[in-house]
Amino acid sequence: MKNSQIRPLLFATLMAALPFAQAQQAAPAQPASPANPANPAGTLQATPQAATPASTKQAEFERYLRAQVLLDRARFSPGEIDGAYGSNTRQALSGFQAARKLPVTGKLDAATWNALNADNAPTLASYTLAESDLAGPFEKIPSEMMDKAKLKELGYETMLEGLGEKFHAKPSMLERLNPGKDLSRAGEQIVVPNVSGKTPLAKASKVVVKGSARILQLFDASGALLAQYPVSTGSANDPLPVGTWKIEGVHANPTYYYNPKLFWDAEPGDKKAKIAPGPNNPVGVVWIDLSKPHYGIHGTPVPGNVGKTESHGCIRLTNWSAAEVASAVAAGLEVVLQE
């Protein structure tokens, strides 16, 4: 998203500023279900009942839920975890397969399943809802920029939205995983995708964005792939600025300065405006400024759209992925933008 200026903040505040980046209270759970089998290899458990369309659909959900959790833990992000096979999961599988020197099919074949399950962590973890999860304030975010500018902060609209970002999950899937649970009560114990406890991401030496594949990749000094994330990159009106650029700075919880002259689709009558920080800010919780004027790598208020919709030329990630990328990069780092 084009942006005239972003107020710099100290990078040291980055991880502490992000609610989903704080130390999590989750502990590995071992519920007796195929989604989280005691079997460390994560193999779905056989059932003596005859397969039905409903049971087959549930088994597929559980299989892809585990695959997405393991891909996330391996830093090949499938984006918003939803237990379904879509374009972001396909790209995550392809990246994982290439890194592990497996045939690149983009499918959850046997070799890929076995490689993923080298991480024998359970699929789900238990989490006790805290007062801070429910505290809010939660407020409906208006769609128009001029209305956004009237708000003192752009926080979460609902508790479930914040919980989804904390555990990299589609909010409706969290409800599916917790039938009968009171998700509005502090102290309620629920199950969530087990995405915590990963080793710290190493510092990157180069960032590569591939527009056609809609992915961002981080590489170390030897050229080894460190991590991969789905992104939205440009459109016909605002194409990705192909070329080699550098990172100018990394800013947590940015204030966004809206300039309608930079947007071909700005609403008539829009004026310059200052949009307060927050996860539902137009650039999310992180702005990584590029040497290309008005362009950057940033978060988004709508994680489910990442990799599936267009942008105003910038590189848009989920808020949690943007935070991970921000932790691994610094000013002066090379960023290669490709078709």
Q: Which has more confidence, 237 or 188?
A: 188
Residue 108 tokens read as 């959850």
Q: Which helix (H) or strand (E) holds 244?
A: strand 243-252
Conformational region of residue 197, where left means phi above 0, alpha means psi within -120 to 50, and beta covers everything else: left
Peptide bond into 171 cis (omega under 30): no
pLDDT tens readout for residues 222-265: 999 999 999 998 666 778 999 999 999 999 999 999 888 877 66
Q: How far, in Å, CA of 285 to CA of 181, rounded?
A: 29
Q: What is the pTM of this model?
A: 0.84
Q: What is the mean pLDDT of residues 108-135?
A: 97
Predicted confidence at residue 84, as pLDDT, reads 97
SS3 for 228? Answer: strand
pLDDT tens readout for residues 311-323: 666 899 999 999 9
Helix, strand, coil distribution of the chain in percent, nearest 5 = 25, 20, 55
SS3 for 202? Answer: coil
Q: What is the mean pLDDT of residues 10-15?
A: 34
Q: How far, in Å, CA of 216 to CA of 148, rounded?
A: 29
pLDDT tens readout for residues 135-147: 989 999 998 999 9
* Residue 77: pLDDT over 50: yes
* Residue 173: pLDDT over 50: yes
Predicted confidence at residue 230, as pLDDT, reads 97
* Residue 28: pLDDT over 50: no
